[in-house]
Amino acid sequence: MKRSMTVTLVLSGVLASGCDDQPGSNAASWAYGDDQTITNNTYAPGYGYWHAPYRRWFPYPYNYFDAGRGYYHGGFYSAEPFASPITASRAAGLSAGGRPGASGGGISRGGFGRGFSGRS
């Protein structure tokens, strides 16, 4: 079988919702603050269950088992439960090492991007 079974566009096509309250959204994270960790399967009404390795909310619990499809994690099903060492994660500022703007200035920009003349 060479052909994709489905090509679903969530962001980039006409079906793009542009909403932040879809499954997989981080929109409920505001309620937890930048530095608060959320454990797997924490439930937020209207948003769903927190999947810590993915740092997002999903409509089903982490590693929820469906007899026909397997174990649900990160928006997908797999035959085995997803065994990630990450059982809790922060809702925001995940990679920041601090809140937005925490560096106190001195940040330089424009160091890349001056050579554009096409790609391949």
Partner 1 sequence: MNRVRTSPRRDWQARVEEVGLLHHSPEGEKYWDESAYYELTAREVDTLEKAANDLHEMCLAAAQHVLDNHVFACLGIPVEAVPGILRSWERDDFSLYGRFDLAYDGSGPPKLLEYNADTPTALVEAAVAQWYWLEDTNRHADQFNSIHERLVAAWKRLAPATDGKMYLGGVKDQLEDERTVLYLEDTCSQAGLMTGRLFIEDLGFDPARGKFVDLQAAVVGDYFKLYPWEWMWREEFSRHLQSDRCRFVEPMWKMLLSNKGLLPVLWQMFPDHPNLLPAYFAEEALRQNQPAAAENGYVKKPRLSREGANVTIMEHGAVVEETSGDYDGEGYIWQAMAPRADFDGNHPVFGVWVVNHEACGLGIREDTARITGNTSRFVPHLF
Span 47-86, contacts to partner 1 by CB under 8 A: 51, 53-56, 73-76, 84, 86
How far CA 57 is from CA of 6, 10, 25, 75, 92, in Å, comes to 23, 16, 6, 9, 12
Residue 31 or 102 with smaller CB distance to partner 1: 102
Shortest distance, position 45 Cβ to partner 1, whole Å: 21
The least CB distance from residue 71 to partner 1, in Å, is 13
Is 43:36 a contact under the CB 8 Å cutoff? no
Q: Verify binding: residue 26, partner 1, rule CB under 8 A.
A: yes
How far does CA 21 lie from the centroid of its chain?
A: 12
Interface with partner 1 includes 104 (CB under 8 A)? yes
* Nearest residue (CB) to partner 1, 13 versus 46: 13
Pairwise CA distance, residues 27 & 56, whole Å: 9
